[in-house]
Amino acid sequence: MRLILCSPMDMHLHLRDGNMLRAVAPLSAKNFSAAIVMPNLIPPVTSEQMAQSYKKRILEATKGEDFEPLMTLFFKSDYNYDFLKRVKEDIAAIKLYPAGITTNSQGGVENFSLEALAPTLEAMSELGIPLCVHGETSGFVMDREAEFIPIYERIAKRFPNLKIIMEHITTKAAVEALLRYENLYATITLHHLYITLDDVIGGLMRPHLFCKPVAKRPEDRMALRKVAFMAHDKVMFGSDSAPHPRSAKEAPGCAAGVFSAPVALPALAQLFEAADVLENLQKFVSDNAQKIYGLTPPAKKVKLIKKSWRVPDRYGNVVPMFAGEELGWRVDEDTAA
């Protein structure tokens, strides 16, 4: 059995910088035609020049592949209309992080009053720049996403023309909110379709599955699978693949992030086939994202074949999801182009 995906896209990707960028970026560029690249570097990407420079480094690291990095800016409440109009051609979205909520987010938003956010959000709405949001509060870890939903709702109501992407949703409550508002959309990760919190800490702790937001309950995973398997028009694939060195994962103070880029498409094919909805994978990994963002990615066909393979224990010094395990689908090395 085989499956050909046309211009698959990863709508939430961490590529880091320096040596890590050079190690992991080719793995995404090989299997995807484009990706929304997160801006939470040190320092974060906040200017036109920084976005252009980062894109140049990504293209150098992925030379030889048909791959378009879609750049983002780190949200600041004082971006003005003139600045955003100038930078619009260089970015696909702006990413909002609550301060300190995840990796390299210390400079994120602390005040979520609409008065504080309005100047930037009004300009974004007028210019048609999507807002991507890491939607968590600083409350109890299992409740953080649900507690953030009222903030999504206030923004969605106040700015009905603003496209708001609820990033890496993990809960049934988030799915329900997504369906209530016309201008809310969402990305769903590979790992949240596969795991619950029990897979992370139910037995021996598995640090390479620890992420933020944390995986939730079986009923939450079921809600995510329902909208993903039907390729609902408001959801799209975003891996949130977030590489960290093994030494940072297998350590006290374990870094949050699941590295899934090398296994994303085969693992999705395996999951969608098991649900008997393999025909919907194209919409989930490309078609919906193109419509939501208004994008035309590079033309690229990636052929998947139903053939088992063993996932490597490591890619350089990064441990991938499913390390050492077998997957039933793989990318045909001769036709990913």
The conformation of residue 54, written as its DSSP 8-state character, comes to H
Cα gap 128→102, rounded to integer Å:
27
DSSP-assigned states of every residue in 113-171? -HHHHHHHHHHHHHHT--EEE----SS-TTTHHHHHHHHHHHHHHH-TTS-EEETT--S
| Cα→Cα distances 245→54, 276, 297, 306, Å | 21, 36, 30, 31
Catalytic residues: 240
CA-CA-CA-CA dihedral for 254, 255, 261, 267, to nearest 10: 40
Q: Residues near 114 by Cβ (< 8 Å), separated by ≥ 6?
A: 121, 154, 155, 158
Say how many Å lie between the first and final Cα of the chain, rounded.
19
Q: Residue 244's beta-bridge partner residues?
A: none
Beta-carbon contacts of residue 294 (< 8 Å; ≥ 6 apart): none
Q: Which residue has the tokens 């994120």?
A: 108
